[in-house]
Amino acid sequence: MTTQSILGNTRRADISFSPNGKIDIASCIVKALGMEKGDVIDIMVDGGEYYLYVSIHASVVFGRHEAQCYPTQNGSRHFRTYCRRLCTAILQATGNERACFAAGEMVEVNGRKAIPIITCKNLRHD
């Protein structure tokens, strides 16, 4: 008889991308980047590495913007946004239909606080 783990990988994702444009961001990323309700995110690519960063802070945002983040529930520290362009770019680059990734420690890239997205392993559990 062969034994097999039911759970397998128990690492939870820090950020997830769906084909409909939904991006869920875990509280650890929100805290590390000092995100606030209404911040606009973007992803930069540097040498094949992907970095999530706040492109426009809520304090200077006027009007509606693509990839503007809001808490998933009132008072929640998990954020969500919808941006099909970001999702499509990440999903195509990584070859996934839907993806959940871990994040690295906060770094500075081009003078901005950024979080590396570890795209080499999709943590999606089906």
Chain segment 10-52, per-residue pLDDT in tens: 788 999 999 999 999 999 999 999 999 999 999 999 988 999 9
Torsion of CA 73, 74, 76, 81, to 10 degrees: 50
Contacts within 8 Å (CB) and 24+ apart, 3-10: 8/125, 9/123, 9/125
Chain segment 47-59, per-residue pLDDT in tens: 889 999 999 999 9
pTM, two decimals, is: 0.89
**% residues pLDDT > 90 (the chain):** 75
